[in-house]
Amino acid sequence: MFHWRADILPGVSAAFTDAGAGNLALHVGDDPAAVQERRFRLEESIAAAPGSLRFMNQVHGNTVAVMSTGSPAPEADAMVSRGLPLAVMVADCIPVLLAGESGNGPVLAAVHAGRPGIANNVLPAAVESMKSLGASGIRAWLGPSICGACYEVPAAMRDEVSALVPATRSVTSWGTPALDLPAGARAQLEAAGVRVEHSGPCTFETETLYSYRRDRNTGRFAGLVWCHD
């Protein structure tokens, strides 16, 4: 079920699922009841209360939603909470999990960092939202995503994005224009004073993970961050 799972702060854990957990997205044509059942099983596996794991309606933007108990699924690409369990779904974009300490306990974030999100600074926006809740010592964990050697894009798109985030400029392993989103994410986080603790493998190259570039009819895996006793 989990590609990677670890305790990241005292009382806080993070994880990235794999294809063994099944598709966790409601927007890819899967049976909604089956998706909800998988989400419930996922909550059970992290000892979260049924229905407490918060998901987003992701739109490739830079909106950050601050979540509280009972908040509906927001139309956003980042969520921040004072300990509520958060999830982000991907199949090549970067699932970024963040955690920091505050006087009122941990502050958590889950961010959907695709090409538009990186270009539009969704990660710095999430960090600023965490800081507004008093978070300090923020650290980041980058889940599996397509790598700079595999993410081929038109030359004009590479030029447009890399003009905004120079670290994203890349070349595929076969010599064509590409974008390195993980490098861009690391550069943005480091510029915001956030230490990156983990970076996952390439989804395109890893058969146990979903990849939209490898198979357009694919599911979504998730990055999760939650508190526990």
**Which amino acid type is present at position 84?**
L
What's residue 180's pLDDT? 98
CA distance 193 to 179: 23
Q: What is the mean pLDDT of the chain?
A: 97
Q: Once rounded to an integer, what is the mean pLDDT over residues 44-55?
A: 95
Cα angle value 73/185/88 (rounded, 5°): 20
> And the tokens for 130?
């965490």
What does the pLDDT look like over 165-183, one tens digit per residue? 999 999 999 999 999 999 9
Contacts 24+ apart (CB under 8 A), 171-180: 173/149, 176/152, 177/152, 177/153, 178/148, 178/149, 178/150, 178/151, 178/152, 178/153, 179/115, 179/148, 179/151, 179/153, 180/147, 180/148, 180/151
Phi, psi (degrees; rounded to nearest 5) at 205: -95, -5
pLDDT at position 119 over 90: yes
Judged by DSSP in three states, 23 sits in coil
CA distance 134 to 118: 24
What's residue 219's pLDDT? 97
Question: Would you kindly state where each structural domain of the chain is located, as residue ranges?
Answer: 2-227
Judged by DSSP in three states, 57 sits in strand
Q: How confident is the model at residue 70 (pLDDT cuts 50, 70, 90)?
A: confident
Return the percentage of the chain with pLDDT > 70, whole number: 100
Chain position carrying tokens 């955690």: 99
| Full DSSP string of 141-176 | EE--B--TTT-B--HHHHHHHHHHSGGGEEE-TTSS
CA distance 101 to 133: 10
pLDDT at position 124 over 90: yes
What does the pLDDT look like over 52-61, one tens digit per residue? 999 999 999 9
What's residue 123's pLDDT? 98
What's residue 229's pLDDT? 83
What's residue 186's pLDDT? 98
Q: How confident is the model at residue 151 (pLDDT cuts 50, 70, 90)?
A: very high
Question: Which CATH code fits 2-227?
Answer: 3.60.140.10
pLDDT at position 130 over 90: yes
